[in-house]
A and B are shown apart, each in its own frame.
Chain A
Amino acid sequence: MDSIGERIQAVRQAASAQTMLAATCALAASDHGDSVNGEAIACLVEVLGFNNPGAAVAAVDGLIRLGPMAVEPILDSLDPRNYGARAWAVRALAGIGDVRGLDLLEEALASDVGPSVRRAAACGLGSLQLKALKPHQRTAVRERALLALLGGCHDGEWVVRYAVSVGLESLGLRLEPQPQEQLQLLKALAALGQPDLEDTVVVRLRARLAHQRLLALMPAAGIEAQAQADDRP
């Protein structure tokens, strides 16, 4: 097997889109030792800016596999003038789930022009890793993620609203008992499941599935949401 150095060189010297893709796949799949991870990450981050979608997908996978250690290099590389690279960075950060990416994910879901970027951001906001955080930080992150996802319920693209349903479910599965949050979350999913509010069948089905799964975990909030719905004129 080639050394990491050789694999990095293969990516940097690739002369065609095809060889770039193959070289990036090889680098992304490498079994890294800590001493060389930094170089591999730097190279994979560079690939995000090369306007080669196939290679970028492979690089995103590789960066997600490398996890939290890739977060700072990705954030440092963000270039407001290179939209493509930024979109791939959002996807990588969404997949890694590190809270340092929260700002970018919020911004991406709210205002990125690419539906596939907003979709990845919605997913990522639901699956941020909270375990390592202090309790008050955890609460703050959850509140921000919930707020961002509630905003995403009104996205114009069905696939983003689908991803928001998935994001809300995974966030809900990891909520600690916070009745107010549970209530907001269940109400948002209930709205996405209603034919008069949501016109895409598959979004409604996914939102109802999420609602059902969460209801089993938070029966109290479910009863409260039902009571509030019944009170509506």
Chain B
Amino acid sequence: MAPASSIPAAQPLPGDSDAHGNGEPISEGEALARLRQCADQSHQYYAAWWLGRNRSRHPEAVPLLITALQQRRPRDPLAGVEENAVARNAARALGKLGDPAAIPELLAALDDEDDGLREAAARSLGELAAIDAVAVLLRRLASGPAGAGATRPDSPRLQEPCEAMLEALGAIGIAEPGVITLIEPFTAHERPLIRSAACRALLQLSGEARWADPLVQLLDHPQLQVRRAALMDLGAVGWRPALEPICRTLAENSLKLIALRGLVEQGAHHDATIQAEAVLSAMDSLL
């Protein structure tokens, strides 16, 4: 709600390994100018992030981000801030700006060889609720946990960015039997984060409580990272019966507040006996 100029320039999240923002406050005009030039990619990288973070509504923002997304080329992991890093940030920003004009280029990015870009594109297509993405996502995940969900020989990453792709299917919301059947085996994936994403998607698509139980159980997982993911997933679904377990789990209040915001805002979709006011009161006590 505040004008962008009054927001202290925040860095990309610490978990974002692509973070290169230099953090000084810039104006929307400056961000657009930085994205338009091609000489300095670290400027483009920061500008793409800035436009998404500040939900720019400037008419040039989406076309420039689409151009930046098209700049990608075969990946060279040794280059510093490379075109693909700019493309990934552009893909993320396009999801936040909510303009369906970005969908075709994001769909193309789902088949890029850079899995980081596929991941960013999948998340953004989910945010845009892009129905056209369902077929591509199903195709990429069709080989199941043993194929798409297998660990790569050369890195700890999976063949496909399964977490983002499963979450996108849940967010897009096409609850056809083919989608459900494809997601279900991922609820038994060896990695808890993938199980969490699969349960989240199935809970969103079916509203069946049996998919909530594993998510609530993950709130007791020994790893903080897993508890955080389960918090975000229950929040994204808005599963109000999880109110108590969310308040109890060992994690930062900041994340619990985000999850509870989801329970308030998304929770009315489910048959919930817990009223929004009870969730608000729980939020008050976490401030």
A residues apposed to B, CB below 8 Å: 53, 113, 115-116, 119-120, 122-123, 154-156, 158-159, 161-163, 166, 197-202, 205-206, 209
Contacts and interface: CB of A to CB of B under 8 A. Distances in A.
Contacts of A158: 261
B254 A120 contact: no
Contacts of B258: 159
A205 B2 contact: no
Given A197-B1, A199-B1, A205-B264, A159 B257 contact: yes
Nearest to B11: A113
B280 A163 contact: no
Contacts of A198: 1
B6 A120 contact: no
B253 interface: yes
Contacts of B277: 209
A155 B2 contact: yes
Contacts of B265: 201-202
A94 to B, nearest CB: 9
Given A154-B2, A198-B1, A201-B264, 7 more contacts: A115-B254, A119-B287, A156-B8, A162-B283, A197-B1, A201-B265, A205-B276
A14 to B, nearest CB: 19
Centre residue among B2, B261, B283 by max chain A CB count within 10 A:
B261
B240 to A, nearest CB: 13
B276 A166 contact: no
Interface string B270-284: 000000110010011
Contact of B1 (A161, A166, A205): A161
Nearest to B23: A113
Contact of B287 (A155, A166, A201): A166
Contacts of A155: 2
A163 B264 CA distance: 16
A113 B8 contact: yes
Contacts of A197: 1
B287 A163 contact: yes
A202 B252 CA distance: 19
B254 A159 contact: yes
Nearest to B4: A156
A79 B276 CA distance: 41
Nearest to B258: A159
B5 to A, nearest CB: 10
A229 B135 CA distance: 51
A53 B14 CA distance: 16
A174 to B, nearest CB: 16
Contacts of A123: 287
Nearest to B257: A159
Which 8 A-B pairs rank lowest in CB-CB distance, beginning with the nearest?
Answer: A156-B7, A123-B287, A202-B261, A202-B264, A156-B2, A201-B265, A154-B2, A163-B287
Given A119-B287, A120-B287, A156-B6, A205 B280 contact: yes
Contact of A154 (B6, B261, B284): B6
A162 B264 CA distance: 13
A149 to B, nearest CB: 13
A116 B2 contact: no
Nearest to A167: B287
Contacts of B2: 154-156
A113 B8 CA distance: 7
A189 B133 CA distance: 41
A214 B287 CA distance: 20
A120 B10 CA distance: 19
A119 B287 CA distance: 6
Nearest to B277: A209
A123 B285 CA distance: 10
A201 B252 CA distance: 22
A180 B6 CA distance: 27
Contacts of B7: 156
Centre residue among A53, A120, A159, A199 by max chain B CB count within 10 A:
A159
